[in-house]
Amino acid sequence: MSVSTVTRSNSALKIIGQIGEELAANYLQEQGFFIKDRNVYNRWGEIDIVAERKNKIHFVEVKTRIHTRQGMPYEAIRIPKLTHLMRSIQHYILLKQLYRYKMQLDVISIMLNADKSLLNLKVYENIHVDRFY
């Protein structure tokens, strides 16, 4: 595979990811969430969406796929990803001093049609990570 092919495929994946994150943010707002932050980067990784509803902070990981050759979107969230995500969340909590809030980790799994329109959006709420440590 040439460098230009890799660059094109990375660009295409980035666009698909951006479409998925936009769909997820719109969905959350329709459900009454206030979007506090998006694409928060730190040394451990990225938090896709930070949203608030009913005095609870939701850290939302969005996974988007256009086909299932590599599995369903939610299947991409494995222990190493969760470990990095939890470190990113802990850093964000410290940075923003969010100690008074209840918090949870949610996953939004999105499947797109070939034309990049929404096929399916599924929310997995309150993912528990403590059993992995």
pLDDT per residue as tens digits for the range 21-54: 999 999 999 999 999 999 999 998 999 999 999 9
pLDDT for position 129: 66
Owner of token pair 């990225």: 46
Rounded-to-10 torsion of CA 102, 85, 45, 60:
-60
Q: Is 24 helix (H, G, I), strand (E, B) or coil?
A: helix
Q: Any bridge partners for residue 49, and if so which? A: 38, 60
| 85 touches 48 (CB < 8 A) | no
Chain centre to alpha carbon of residue 128: 15
pTM value is: 0.87
pLDDT score of 81: 86
Task: Return the residue matching tokens 């928060």.
Answer: 40
Whole-number pLDDT of residue 9? 64
How far is the C-alpha of 15 from the C-alpha of 75, rounded, in Å? 20
Residue 3 has pLDDT above 50, yes or no: no
**Cβ-contact 32, 55 below 8 angstroms:** no
Distance of CA 123 to the CA centre of its chain: 11
- Over the stretch 55-86, which tens digit does the pLDDT of each residue have? 999 999 999 999 888 888 888 888 888 888 99
